[in-house]
Structure 1
Amino acid sequence: MPVYSYKCRKCEHKFEKEMTISQKEENEVINCPECKSDNIFQTFDRVGLLGGSKNSSCSGSCPADRSCCD
């Protein structure tokens, strides 16, 4: 299931919410888990890769020895 990243405009708390694509498309009201505000926006600070070889899923945050890809 996809995980979406959000940030609250009121308290600036960053959080993630797991939901299906159809749930996301329904424009469900999402509230900040800290201050309960609905004044949030989606952030795009992660990149997910599908398919490819095992090494293709390594990210720039992986150590130089690429140990996170094994």
Structure 2
Amino acid sequence: HEAVESISTSAELDIPSDALRFDFTGDDEALSKLLISLIANKFQILTFQEETGDLEDVFLQVTKGLVN
């Protein structure tokens, strides 16, 4: 946790035993710097991908699916 948090304060972490997944907000340059930092911190990167969604997906993710 600490290694990724030291790289990015805008990451929401989800760390199962064999993977690392997190939400990151930033531009392409920030995303590139994140990957460089992960490699520099000796993370073994097998895949690094960006997932995009539509406005409804983003809303549900932000509200955790809870609507009043």
TM-score (ref. length: structure 2): 0.33
Higher RCO (CA 8 Å, separation ≥ 6 residues): 1
TM-score (ref. length: structure 1): 0.32
Q: Which has the higher strand share?
A: 1
Q: Which has the higher helix share?
A: 2
